[in-house]
Structure formats: structure tokens, C-alpha cells
Amino acid sequence: MNNNMKLNLKLKIWRQSSAKSVGSFVDYKVSVSPDASFLEMLDEINNELEKNNQDPIVFESDCREGICGTCGLVINGEPHGPLRKVATCQLHMRNFKDGQTIWVEPFRAKAFPVIKDLAVDRSAFDKIIQAGGYISVNTGGVPDANSIPIAKDIASEAFDSAACIGCGACVAACKNSSAMLFVSAKVTQFALLPQGQPERQQRVEAMVAKMDEFGFGSCSNTYACEAECPKGISVRNIARLNHEYLSAKVKSTNVEV
């Protein structure tokens, strides 16, 4: 490609050598194709840095097609950048203007400590899933397909909730670092389906308790999470979580916690 079709950008990227050290923004100048994705641009910077024997910028990515949820970065103050319903890996440089300054920061939350540079530790999400984000399946013969009837609209709604990729952008966007959009998507997905019924009450109780244990905040309904979620998970899931939690607490026989 012709060089003058490239975008010249100034990047201010958060560099932090370890969890304990103090970080700061470092300036980088790049000339990048408008067709490159945001992560490809970072790859190019890293190639240069490595060539010069410098420490490359640490960031996470895996699928690079918006389904694994590892690639969250905060770009100009917004998780996954300015475009709606896309992950960072699907954000292309044509969405930025020539000469623009772009700030790149890691997700900020007490429960998501920085590991290095732009990579944060999101294992709290795994622990929340382990607390109840599953269904128990007993062994035995394979059940017939479609032996349990589920209405199409219910199945679709459960599927919408199941589209959550666990990226953590909801926590990053929330001024309270609340994980409720994530947790509610998981709770809703199972609460709607017959397979989720046996563990329904204990699931919501255990997942909320785990979420609180990690120090995620309390939802104050700013709905920033829904706006920034790459999968467009609706805050109606949070309403359902609240309702599920309330009814579980009232009805369950669990008096321990």
C-alpha cells in the first residue's frame, strides 16, 4: 500500500512492568494501515520494539474474531474502544482520524489487578463461574434430542444471554466496577432453561456471594455496561438477577449464607 494512505497516530500506552510496580503512559508514534485491526497495530509496534531489543507491550488476545473475550483494552476511556458491539480485536484503525491521539489503558477494577502493561488478572470471573455458573449432568444414556420442549422465544432469550464472552468490559466500563452484567447473563441463561432449574436457587446465591467476595461493586443502574458490552448483553439480565436473588433468598432453605 502507498504510504500516504496510512494513518499517522500518536499513542499513549500504559506501561507497567509488574503488578506491584508503578506504571505510566509511554508515547509511541505509528504509521498504520486503516485496514489493520487495533491489535495488529499493537503487533506492529511490538515488532519494532523487539527489533530494538526493547520490552514488547503485553496485552491479551486469542481468537481475534470477537468470541474468546480475552482482548479487552480501554481505548480513549471506553472498553473495546468507540465502536458499539465489537471487541477490541474487531476494531479497525479506519475508525480513527489521521493525527489523532489514542490513549490505551488496562481495565481498571480492584478485582482485576494489572499483571503487566495492559494485561489484567480476570480469574475472579472463573471463580464466579466455578461457584455456580454450570449445570450438573448425571451420566447415563444420551437423551433424545429435543425431548424437552422449549419455546422458541425462551430459547432465543437464553441464547442472547449465553452470548456473553466473559470479557469483563462491563466491569471496566462501570464506575462501580460491578460485575452484575456478567453474572446476570450467566444466571439468566440457566434460569430460563429447564436444565437450569435443579440448581437455580443455589446458583444465584453462590454466584452473588462469590462476586461480592472479590470486591466487585454494587450496580447503580448507570447502564454503562450495556453500552460498552461487545455482545450487547441487555441490562434486563441484571433486573432478572435481582429478582432471582430476591426470590432465592426468600424461598430457599439455605440458612448458612
- Residues forming contacts to ligand FES in the complex (CB under 6 A) are 61-64, 66-71, 87-89
Q: Which of 61, 230, 235, 245: binder of ligand SF4 (CB under 6 A)?
A: 230
Cβ count within 10 A of residue 195: 14
165 binds ligand SF4, rule: CB under 6 A: yes
Total of residues contacting ligand SF4 (CB under 6 A): 15
- What minimum distance in Å lies between the beta carbon of 109 and ligand SF4? 12
Half-sphere exposure of residue 139, counting CA atoms within 13 Å on the CB side?
0
231 binds ligand SF4, rule: CB under 6 A: yes
E-strand ranges in 16-59 read 24-32
Total of residues contacting other proteins (CB under 8 A): 52
Q: Which of 170, 180, 206, 207: binder of ligand SF4 (CB under 6 A)?
A: 170
| Whole-number Cα distances in Å, 230 to 63, 123, 185, 222 | 14, 20, 13, 17
- What minimum distance in Å lies between the beta carbon of 102 and ligand FES? 18
Spatial CB neighbours of 128, under 8 Å, sequence gap ≥ 6 = 179, 182, 183, 186, 207, 210, 211, 214
Q: Over the Cα atoms of the chain, what is R_g?
A: 21
Answer for the pair 34, 92: CB distance below 8 angstroms, yes or no: yes
64 or 236: CB nearest ligand FES: 64
Residue entry with cell 437423551:
143
With 0-12 / 13-18 / 19 or more C-beta atoms within 10 angstroms meaning exposed / middle / buried, residue 171 is buried
220 binds other proteins, rule: CB under 8 A: yes
58 or 129: CB nearest ligand SF4: 129
Residues in 112-171 at the binding interface with other proteins, rule: CB under 8 A: none
233 binds ligand SF4, rule: CB under 6 A: yes
Q: Distance (Å, rounded) from C-alpha 196 to C-alpha 172?
A: 28
Residues that bind other proteins (CB under 8 A): 12, 25, 74, 76-78, 82, 103, 105, 108-111, 173-178, 180, 208-209, 211-212, 215-224, 227-228, 235-236, 238-246, 249, 254-257
Task: Using CB under 6 A, list all residues that contact ligand SF4.
Answer: 69, 164-170, 181-182, 185, 229-231, 233
